[in-house]
Amino acid sequence: MAIEFSRDITFGQYLDLGSPVHRRDPRMKILAVGILMFATIIARSFSAVLVLYLCAALIQWRSTIPLSYTLRGMRLLVTTLLIIFVFQVLFFPNPSNALWQWWILSISWDGLSLGILIILRVVLLYYWTSTLMFTTALMDLADGMEIMLDPLKRLRVPVNEVVMTFVIALKFVPLLVAELERLIKARTARGERFDKGNLMERGRKIGSVLVPLFVNALARAEVLTTAMNARCYRGGQGRTKRRVLSWRTPDTVMLLIALAFAVLSFALGRMALL
C-alpha cells in the first residue's frame, strides 16, 4: 500500500513563485481574505457564489500557482464534503417539493440545491485560506498579523506570543504529516496492513500509530522550547523587525478589487432573496 500523505496535504506550504500576488503586502492579503471569507459565509445564492468563483479564478491566474497543486490539497476534503452533502439532503427540514420521503429523511430539490451550495461555499473557504498560505511566507504572515493586532497591546494582550504560537502551529503541520507517514511506512515494512479489515480494525491500527506520533510531537516541542530559551527569547517586548512592511498603490488596488467582488456577491445574493 502506497503511503504518501505529504503529497496530498498542501495546506500551510509556501510557493515562492514571485507573482504579483506573492509580492503584495501580507496585511492586504489578510484583509482581502477576511473580506472574501465573510462574503462566502453570507452568500445565499448560486449567482453570489459564482461571482466569488470568478474572483478565485482571477487570483489563481495572477498568482501563477498550478491549478493541479491547488486541487491536490482538496482531495482530503472529498469525504467531508460528501458527508455534509448527504446529511444536508436527507435532513432538510420541511421540504416543499420532496422527491422521496420516509420518516425524518427526505430527498427534495430544495435539499439538493442547498447541499450543492454549501459544498461550493466550503470549497471556497478552503481555497481562500490555502491560497493565502501559498502566496505568503510564514514570517511575512506573522509580521502582518502582529502589526494589525498591535492595538490589542494596550489591553495587555501578548500579541507577539499569540502570533508566534500560530506560526509554530502551522509550521508543525507538515512535520507531523511527515512523521505520521514515516511511522505508517515503518509498520507496513513489518507486515502490518492498514488497507485491510473493517472500519473498526483500521481505526484501531491508526490509533496505535497516534501514540508515538504525539510522543514525538511533544519531544519536538521540548527541543524547540530549549532552543528558544538558549537564544534568550523573552517574548515580543523590545524586539525589532528585520524587514519593514510597505503598503503600496497595487496593494490598495487589489484590496479594492476584492472588496468590489464581495459587494457584488452580496448584492446578487440580496436580489435573489427578494
Rounded Cα–Cα distance for residues 254 and 72 (Å) = 26
CB 170 within 8 A of CB 132: no
Task: Return phi, psi of residue 181, to 5°.
Answer: -65, -40
C-alpha cell at 43: 452568500
pTM over 0.95: no
Between CA 265 and CA 269, with CA 268 as vertex, the angle to 5 degrees is: 85
| Confidence category of residue 29, pLDDT binned at 50, 70, 90 | very high
Count Cα atoms within 13 angstroms, Cβ side, for 248: 9
Rounded to 10°, the helix 109-135/46-63 angle is: 20
Least confident span in 43-57, 111-125, 170-184, 191-205:
191-205
The whole-chain average pLDDT of the chain stands at 83
pLDDT score at 39: 94
pLDDT score at 1: 44
Q: What residues contact residue 137 under an 8 Å CB cut-off, 6+ apart?
A: 14, 16
**Higher-scoring residue by pLDDT: 89, 61:** 61
Least confident span in 56-65, 227-236, 244-253, 256-265:
227-236
Chain position carrying cell 502566496: 135
Task: Return phi, psi of residue 107, to 5°.
Answer: -125, 120
| Confidence category of residue 36, pLDDT binned at 50, 70, 90 | very high
Least confident span in 8-12, 241-245, 248-252:
8-12
Would you say residue 125 has pLDDT above 90? yes
